[in-house]
Amino acid sequence: MFKKYFLKWFFLFALFYFQNTFAQEIEFFGEAKQGGVIICKCKDALSATLNNTKLQIDKNGIFLFGFDRDAKGNYKLTVHLKNKKTKTFNYTIEQEKFEEQRLRVSKKYVNPPKKFSNQIAHENYLMKIARSKVGKVKHALFMSGFAYPVDSIDIRATFGLQRILNGKPSNVHNGLDFAGEEGDSIRAITDGIVRIAGNNFFYNGNFVLLDHGQGLTSVYLHMSKIITKENKEVKKGEVIGLVGSTGRATGPHLHLGVQWYKKRIDPMRVLNINFDSPVSIDLFQQ
């Protein structure tokens, strides 16, 4: 009789232990949606791929991946562990409906006169150089956590809007617009490295691009003043500039954009990530 009960309780304990251990092997943070990011913690990870894309993993087993604003369909995450196990997780990204936003701006920002062509081309070149450095930092600087870039959380334009400028369809709005007063402080949303601090760009105005490691970047547009410099390492919450209305802007505000490499990410989905609250593993089909 004792042996029977012992084996029963031993089996239940082993089942609980292995299930709990498995659940803790990989922790997920974020959302598998259009414009979403998933950050993973897996100290025993050797390698990971999303479909056919190899993901960077730092020495602490941290890696991430993201889904573009227009992503849809099925994605498969494959993680190879040090114990020679392989874990797979499937994500289905459903198409969302994004609203329109109609704005009136100066005509030169809708159809730039030829006299600005060289300036725009040169600025595109500088941005290309800056973004070519992205992905070379393997360490997950973003693990310092995320914080809002301004004190007043007054969002005037959300991510993904189809913009209509002066009655003509324009580019999709790939960020969040925070209302603000001229001169309000702008802070880094997480630790990073300044890849470019651009002055008086045609569209961006004064702006800063931060590299947070593993392809994750954030950009802060339309500043009245830049308070940082290129190649500087900045901390979460550090002031990097002041709110303004430089470039293509209808008034003082901050445009915050986030990307994972070339994937357009919703900044709000990033700002909502809390490393104290992992996403349930049951949300993903294995």
What sign does the CA torsion over 159, 39, 20, 87 have? positive
What is the rounded radius of gyration, in angstroms, for the C-alpha atoms of the chain? 22
Helix (H, G, I), strand (E, B) or coil at 277: coil
Element (H, E) at 14: helix 2-25
Q: How distant, in Å, are the alpha carbons of 17, 19, 25, 282 from that of 13?
A: 6, 10, 18, 21
Helix (H, G, I), strand (E, B) or coil at 205: strand
Q: How distant, in Å, are the alpha carbons of 14, 18, 80 from that of 43?
A: 22, 17, 11
Strand 100-103 with 162-165, pairing: parallel
Residues 6+ apart with CB under 8 A from 216: 37, 64, 66, 142, 258, 259, 260
In angstroms, the CA 33 to CA 23 distance is 22
Helix (H, G, I), strand (E, B) or coil at 166: coil
At 23 the pLDDT is 44
14 pLDDT tier (thresholds 50, 70, 90): very low
pTM summary value: 0.87
Residue linked to tokens 């999303």: 50
Check pLDDT > 80 for residue 170.
Answer: no
In angstroms, the CA 172 to CA 161 distance is 6
pLDDT digits (tens, 9 = 90+) for 92-125: 998 888 777 777 777 777 778 999 999 999 999 9
What sign does the CA torsion over 271, 217, 236, 248 have? negative
Catalogue all structural domains in the chain, each as residue range(s) with its CATH number: 2-96 (2.60.40), 100-271 (2.70.70.10)
Token output for 110: 């809708």
Q: Which residue has the higher pLDDT, 219 or 172?
A: 219
pLDDT digits (tens, 9 = 90+) for 214-268: 999 999 999 999 999 999 999 999 999 999 999 989 899 999 999 999 999 999 9
In angstroms, the CA 144 to CA 162 distance is 33
Token output for 236: 């979460």
Check pLDDT > 50 for residue 36.
Answer: yes
Check pLDDT > 80 for residue 28.
Answer: yes
Evaluate whether 214 touches 135 at the Cβ level (below 8 Å).
yes
In the chain, % of residues over pLDDT 70: 89
